Amino acid sequence: MKHFSILSKKYFKCIVIGVSAGGMRALNKLLPVIPLEFPIPIVIVQHIHKSSTGFYIESLNSKCHITVKLAENNETLKSGFAYFAPPDNHVQITEEHKILLTKDEKVNYSRPAIDVLFNSASEIFEKNLLGIILTGANYDGTEGMEAIKQAGGFTIAQNPIDAEYPVMPKSAVDSGKIDLILTLDEISSVFINWRRT
């Protein structure tokens, strides 16, 4: 497929994913297909209520080859891990490729906010960053995707027609800063076939 050949020419040091409403279904489809030897750390912001428990993360981890966990302050990003922003915490990436958790003001009515992660990661990884925006019912992530593109990174949006809640990916697509618009199945195939083309 065309998108495999495009991505096979890229070198990424980090993947950031933003998702909101409908995210549980999307991530349960996407993360379990990622192979154990996947070479790039993944950091995820999903809009969740501040009182949420860790059961959702534990359930995902039990289905995945890579390790899925809540991000901890000051831990170093490692391949084979998917780090989720904890409830009521923004996630940023430091120059040392460590996770920084903050209680700064909400952005787009959200904490954690997708834009906070995407903006931070774009400054650190520049052209070596892949940003993915999935289903959601607000506009969080659009500004962050623009920042990723401006820094030279690569952007993928879930096709709004395919998304359970199309507002968030459509907003990103409408910004004109999306390199590939893919269905969830196609994004899953990207992970399955990573570097095989």
Residues pairing with 43 in the sheet: 16, 83
User: Which residues have CB under 8 Å from 50's CB, separation 6+?
Assistant: 87, 88, 111
Q: Any idea which residues carry the catalytic annotation? A: 20, 47, 140
* Calpha distance 129→127 (Å, rounded): 6
Tokens of 34: 């990622």
Tokens 């991505």 belong to which residue?
7
Tokens of 77: 């990003």
For residue 181, give the H/E element and its range: strand 180-182
User: Which residues have CB under 8 Å from 45's CB, separation 6+?
Assistant: 16, 17, 18, 19, 84, 85, 91, 112, 113, 114, 116, 117
What is the number of alpha carbons within 13 Å of residue 153 lying toward its C-beta? 28
Contact status, residue 7 vs residue 132, Cβ threshold 8 Å: no
